[in-house]
Structure 1
Amino acid sequence: MSLVNRYKVQLPSGREALNTFAVVRDAVLVLIILFVLSAFWPFRTVPTGSRGVITQFGAIKGIQNEGLVILAPWEKLALFSVRAEEAKIENADGSTSDTQPVKVSMTVRYSISVARVAEVYEKYSHDGDLSSYVQTATQEAFKAVTARYTAPDLIAQRARVSGDIAAALRTKLELYGAQVINIDMRNFAFSDDYMKAISAKVTQEQLRLGAENKLKTVEAEQKQKVAIAEAEASALRAKADGEAYANLKVATAQAEALKVQNAALAQNKDVLELRRIEVEHTKAERWDGKLPVNMYAGAPIPFLTMGK
């Protein structure tokens, strides 16, 4: 058998060739249709927490809210996040008004203003991530604020410092279409030497306050003792005054009684004389005429009074 006959391939007939070509053609058309539909599918979805930026040949044509969006074949949709984002700033450094270096780590939470999505998309970010801008702005705000405080005030008024940083940062981020939600300050610290000096000062202050409190306690105790002594003296004085007053009243009453008695006696001398005569008369009536046997010198002899 010749080589030609040995390796001869049987070619399909004309009808079979046409059928094969039609199958391939249909498959290609289906693929093309699927590709076109996938590339130019008009229905899109904007998820919650996002905005859809519709562009046409690179130009922004509109902003869509959450939900279903129908696009023309020549339009494109980019998703832009308006959720709260956060930027972590590590070891931001500054200097106080008394030239003390200070460092802080912060977490800044922010979000894009919905009304300025188109501006932010065009100028700064296509997805709403402004962390690099936030970090730079936070560093600048921290330096500006700490320069207005002394180191002791920066420690004592930490809440106020945080508020000032937030206010300064809001002003800066407003330029980028973002709004500050809150700021968390972490690892607020000075140099080691300054922290040791602060610790020593705090210890001295505590000792001073302890001594002052002890002195105040002693003073309070002394004042209490003085008050007790004064109260006791006042009580004794009041008692003495009361007794003296009572004695005075008694003496006055007695004197008044004597005055009354003397006045009564002075006014009733005749009555007394009459009573005396009555007594003598009674004695005379009862006398038996006998003189006393014993008489002492100077004793009166009864009823021997001689008239003129």
Structure 2
Amino acid sequence: MKMQTASKLIAAIVILAILVSLAPFATVPAGNRGVMTTFGSPSPEVYSEGIHFRWPIAQSLHLVPVSIQKGEGEGDAASKDLQTVHTRVAINYHVRPEAVVSVYRDLGNEPGERIIIPSVQEAVKAVTARFTAEELISKRSQVRDEIVLALRERMARHGLVVDEFSIVNFNFSKTFNEAIEAKTTADQLKMKAERDLQRIEVEARQKISRAKAEAESLALQRQQVTPELLRLRETENQAKAIEKWDGRLPTTTGGAIPFLNIGSGGSGSSNSGK
């Protein structure tokens, strides 16, 4: 009896060891979903994060990332005015959790290579062809929005979602870059000339205003100068001179005595006694 019990215990241990070695349990880590295949055929069920049982040898659990993935790419396209445009873009996307089975089955669990890259290239070329090279620069946000719209329509059919899309850079031919630089310089010079002209016009108007004000002031002063005002100013000047006089007459003869008004007739004349 003891030998039979020991044999059963050994057999159970061996079976357990075989099961453990065959890994009957599989884990789906965070940010992923699982697709179970039985002899290579995927089941329609989506396995969420956690531990799941599988039949060893017969079944395998495959992981499909559903967290946000990042991709970058670049390529050449032609603008509406037939300028060659080298575009570099960046995209963030993720797989819809409920669509992981189709992504695994239809895209071989490689959405980046199978869908993302060709979809981005096609969308960039299609949208770039609707804008001139200059518009690609001046209307960059509109170009980006139209590319995103085209991407979302195509990627949604395969269970993919666009989270972010950005145009990293536009590069043009050397000739076009030189033409843009020349135009920018010309625009800057034109703006400077316009500002200088505005400043000159303002200064001229200021000078005219000042001259007009001075002329009006002089005209007003001339209107205010009357004979009575002149006599008043003369009287004021004589009064100031008398205040400054020290009372002594000049010692030289032959000149007029200042400040004395000699009348032609009056009892105070110097010739009255002759």
* Same topology, TM > 0.5: yes
Q: Deviations over 1:157-209 (max 9, x none)?
A: 22222222222222222222111121232341111111111111111111111
Query: Does the Cα contact within 8 Å between 2:35 and 2:42 map onto a contact in 1?
Result: no
Higher-Rg structure is 1
Q: Which residue of structure 1 aligns with residue 81 of structure 2?
A: 98
Which letter maps to 2:86? K
How far is 1:149 from its partner? 0.7
Question: C-alpha separation between the residues in 1 aligned to 2:218 and 2:125?
Answer: 72
Matched, 1:111 2:94: yes
Cα distance change, pair 61–175 in 1 and its aligned pair in 2 (3 A): closer
Which letter maps to 1:229? A
Cα distance change, pair 69–27 in 1 and its aligned pair in 2 (3 A): closer
Q: Aligned to 2:193, which of 208, 211, 235? A: 211
Cα distance change, pair 235–28 in 1 and its aligned pair in 2 (3 A): farther
Which letter maps to 1:77? L
Matched, 1:84 2:68: yes
| Structure 2 counterparts to residues 1-308 of structure 1, below 5 A | 30-31=13-14, 33-39=16-22, 41=24, 43-57=25-39, 58-71=41-54, 75-90=59-74, 92-126=75-109, 129-233=111-215
Question: C-alpha separation between the residues in 1 aligned to 2:197 and 2:209?
Answer: 18
Q: Deviations over 1:108-132 (max 9, x none)?
A: 2111112211221221133x64244
TM (normalized to structure 1)? 0.62
Q: Deviations over 1:33-71 (max 9, x none)?
A: 422333252x33211100111233413141122123234
Cα distance change, pair 109–209 in 1 and its aligned pair in 2 (3 A): same
TM (normalized to structure 2)? 0.69
Question: C-alpha separation between the residues in 2 aligned to 1:182 and 1:188?
Answer: 18
Instruction: Classify the secondary structure of the residue corresponding to 1:130.
Output: helix
Cα distance change, pair 172–230 in 1 and its aligned pair in 2 (3 A): farther
- Percent of aligned positions that are identical: 33
Q: Deviations over 1:120-145 (max 9, x none)?
A: 1221133x642442111111111111
Higher helix proportion: 1
Query: Does the Cα contact within 8 Å between 2:28 and 2:51 map onto a contact in 1?
Result: yes
Instruction: Classify the secondary structure of the residue corresponding to 2:67.
Output: coil
Query: Does the Cα contact within 8 Å between 1:137 and 1:169 map onto a contact in 2?
Result: yes
Which letter maps to 1:111? H
How far is 1:237 from its partner? 6.3
Instruction: Classify the secondary structure of the residue corresponding to 1:53.
Output: strand
Instruction: Classify the secondary structure of the residue corresponding to 1:48.
Output: coil
Q: Deviations over 1:221-266 (max 9, x none)?
A: 112222333444556667778x69xx9xxxxxxxxxxxxxxxxxxx
Which letter maps to 1:87? G
Question: C-alpha separation between the residues in 2 aligned to 1:225 and 1:119?
Answer: 81
Task: Name stretches of at least 5 consecutive residues in structure 1 with no aligned partner.
Answer: 1-18, 248-308
**Comparing both chains, which one has the higher relative contact order based on Cα–Cα distances under 8 Å and sequence gaps of 6 or more?**
2
Cα distance change, pair 68–239 in 1 and its aligned pair in 2 (3 A): farther
Task: Name stretches of at least 5 consecutive residues in structure 2 with no aligned partner.
Answer: 229-274
Cα distance change, pair 203–32 in 1 and its aligned pair in 2 (3 A): same
- Between 1:106-115 and 1:136-145, the stretch displaced more is 106-115
How far is 1:29 from its partner? 7.7
Instruction: Classify the secondary structure of the residue corresponding to 2:155.
Output: helix
Q: How many residues align?
A: 220
Query: Does the Cα contact within 8 Å between 1:55 and 1:62 map onto a contact in 2?
Result: no
Q: How well do the aligned residues superpose, as a CA RMSD in angstroms?
A: 3.0
How far is 1:94 from its partner? 0.9
